[in-house]
Structure 1
Amino acid sequence: MEWKRTAFDWNQARAFLVTAEEGSLSAAARALGLTQPTLSRQVAGLEEALGVTLFERTPRALLLTQAGVELLDHFRSMGHAATRISIAATGQSQTITGHVAIAATNLMATHFLPPILYALQAKAPELQIEIITSNRLSDLKRREADIAIRHGRPTDENLFAKRLRNATAHLCAASSYLDKVGRPARAEDLSDMHFVGAEYPEQLLGPLASRGVNLTKANFNYVTASGTLSLALVRQGLGIGILPAEIVDAYPELENAWPDFEPIEIETWLVAHRELRTNPRIRLVFDHLSDAIG
């Protein structure tokens, strides 16, 4: 196939690349922080510039055309090159001003980061800190964040990771809920109680069963991807939640619902791209978070 020789906008190329990788305009728009109509215009502009159709638009999905498939690897190479340029440029910066993006779960961001960032402000008052709250793992290599606080060890060798600490999660509930339904005397009593669960409660069934707590999805009357909302629901007395010990200790209305429950270990890792460790502002924030959380 002969391609049309033309210049095109990198924003259009990035729009195509992310749309192809995410599988839909809506997901790609969220990933790029754009509106869906803007993203759609960028993809259409690239198609017009190249003189080819990159996607077949069906009612349910976007499908790459043959031309789109053939071009995708080339655009991926361009994306990797652009990322390497951005990382190298960031690594050469020697100022303690500027932007640093930190990715963390909303529970970590809400309950742990504010006092940590308050102390950081005294060290570097000119920094602009962006906090990305999501349970989805941010892609550091594509610069979705500069630093990530994760609850699992990264496997990518291009990332610098430091293990900070282990915490434990327990079954906890509001005293008002346990006053109403009764405090469990045996593990079997928990199967008759309501639970507040994460986005995919079925993933909790195995770890709970291995600790003698046998539940089904029907026990999870309230499910949310938001850790802060999960905490609010438990505090309201709507059921039992699995929360870090520090959170339980912070709220007097909460108590350990089943003291014999074997705690669930929670690892905390601080992660950044290796080359970003040469940047003073990234290093300052990384080391500050390491000291404060660790």
Structure 2
Amino acid sequence: MEFDWNHARAFLVTAEQGSLSAAARVLGLTQPTLGRQVNALERELGVTLFQRVGRGLTLTQSGAYLLEHVKSMGMAAGHVSLAAMGQSQSITGTVCISVSEIYATLVMPQIVMEIRDREPGITIEVVATNEISDLQKREADIAVRAVRPTQSELITKKIKEMSATFYATPGYLQKIGPAKTIQDLTHAHFISVGSCEAYKKAMAGSGLMLTDENISVVCESHLVHWEMTKMGLGIGLVPTHIGDAEPSVQRVIAGLDLIQFPIWLTTHRELRTSKRIQLVFDLLAEALAA
């Protein structure tokens, strides 16, 4: 029986994503190309792997059974890739860094410039995502995170403690009047990242009880939230080193660091032995600490 790993990988990612279009985006392929690879695997194995339900795909009984075996193959392929890259002593090449959306936009450009100035042979690929990238699946080589991972295969380094607080434009603060404590903000409008309920729950943990009437805008993007804050639509919550550097806004309550959070730098244990990964890891740690 002929067997092509590319076809198996197409099946694996399609099963994980639930649709050909989503899987094609993950693999960087066109949807027709991915569909042909899945169809080719079905012909090679002589089974039907998916059935279409609406716009999505569901696994057949045979597909669900074979998926577990293909997952094992995927993990093995990932380990081979990690081990091979870990042995690389070449400086020239690509290093993929996963970082939150707002950091990718407002913090990483300067850091990438510094890395490129020192090591022009290294190409930096930035994955801007608020999701936690799976380093074991090679979704990134290095991740900047606000939570410490627990997997034993990962190496972590705590860079520093950070803080975040409320910001708004001077014009908006004139409308709501002076505030000395967060209890003074119960009549203000806030820009929520994520659901209203999750935002209200988070604020309640800091002693601020809000209602739906306090939420002026709801969005999923931290960058959209920040731009709307700078436009005066309400109060936003961002890291203090980002907010303090923006001239169009000011702290809502002077001297208040509402939230404390750590910055962790993470890579896979296998990749730490790669000269290129280790170099970027150390340069990134130095820049973030500064």
| 2:79 equivalent to 1:110 | no
Report whether the alignment pairs 1:58 with 2:42: no
2:244 aligned counterpart, secondary structure: helix
CA distance in structure 2 between the aligned counterparts of 1:37 and 1:239, rounded to whole angstroms: 45
Aligned to 2:209: 214
1:19 aligns with 2:14: yes
Query: Structure 1 stretch 22-31 or stretch 77-86: which is displaced more?
Result: 22-31
Structure 1 residue 281 displacement after superposition: 0.5
Equivalences, count: 289
CA distance in 1 between partners of 2:123 and 2:255 (Å): 45
Q: Once structures 1 and 2 are overlaid, which stretch shifts more, 41-50 or 27-36? A: 27-36
Query: For residues 153-192 of structure 1, what are the structure 2 equivalents within 5 Å?
Result: 153-184=148-179, 187-192=182-187
1:231 is matched with 226
Say whether 1:274 aligns with 2:232: no
CA contact (8 A) 2:244 2:251 kept: no
- 1:34 corresponding residue in structure 2: 29
Q: Is the 8 A contact 2:225 2:236 kept in 1?
A: yes
Residues 63-116 of structure 1: per-residue CA shift (max 9 Å, x gap):
211111111111011101111111111112111100110110121112211222
**Most deviating of 121-130 and 29-38:** 29-38
Q: For residues 201 and 283 of structure 1, do their structure 2 counterparts lie closer, same or farther at Cα, with a shift above 3 Å needed?
A: farther
* 3-state SS in 1 of match to 2:263: strand
Deviates more, 1:176-185 or 1:158-167: 176-185
Quick check: 1:197–1:230 contact (8 Å CA) kept in 2?
A: yes
**Residue equivalent to 2:243:** 248
Q: Deviations over 1:211-238 (max 9, x none)?
A: 2211134433222332222211111101
CA distance in 1, matches of 2:54, 2:256: 49
How far, CA to CA, are the matches of 1:219 and 1:60 in structure 2?
37
**Secondary structure in 2 aligned to 1:250?**
coil
The separation in 2 between residues aligned to 1:7 and 1:250, in whole angstroms, is 59
- 2:199 match: 204
Give yes or no for contact 1:211–1:262 (8 Å, CA) kept in 2.
Answer: no
Residues 169, 249 of structure 2: 8 Å contact kept: yes
For residues 219 and 36 of structure 1, do their structure 2 counterparts lie closer, same or farther at Cα, with a shift above 3 Å needed? Answer: farther
Deviation at 1:290, TM superposition (A): 0.9
Gaps of 5+ in 2: none
Q: Which runs of 5+ in 1 are unaligned?
A: 1-5
TM-score (norm: length of structure 2): 0.93
- 1:142 matches 2:145: no
Provide the TM-score with structure 1 as the length reference: 0.92
CA shift, 1:185, in A, is: 5.9
Shift of the 169–12 alpha-carbon distance from structure 1 to 2, 3 Å rule, reads: same
How many Å separate the matches in 2 of 1:216 and 1:199? 15
Residue 202 of structure 1: how far off its partner (Å): 2.6
Residues 135 and 225, structure 1, Cα contact 8 Å, conserved in 2: no
Structure 1 residue 122 and structure 2 residue 117: aligned?
A: yes
1:84 corresponds, among 79, 84, 105, to 79
Q: Is the contact between residue 104 and residue 132 of structure 1 (CA under 8 Å) also seen in structure 2?
A: yes
1:168: how far off?
A: 0.7
Going from structure 1 to structure 2, the CA distance change for 1:28 and 1:95 (only over 3 Å counts) comes to same
**CA offset digits 1:40-80 (Å, max 9, x no partner):** 22212211221110112111532211111111111011101
In structure 2, how many angstroms separate the alpha carbons of the residues matched to 1:38 and 1:202?
41
Identity fraction in percent = 47
In the TM superposition, what is the alpha-carbon distance from 1:167 to its structure 2 partner? 0.7
**Inter-partner Cα distance in structure 1 for 2:196 and 2:136:** 30
Verify the 8 A CA contact 1:211 1:261 in the aligned structure 2: no
1:138 Cα offset (Å): 1.0
Q: CA deviation at 1:21?
A: 1.9
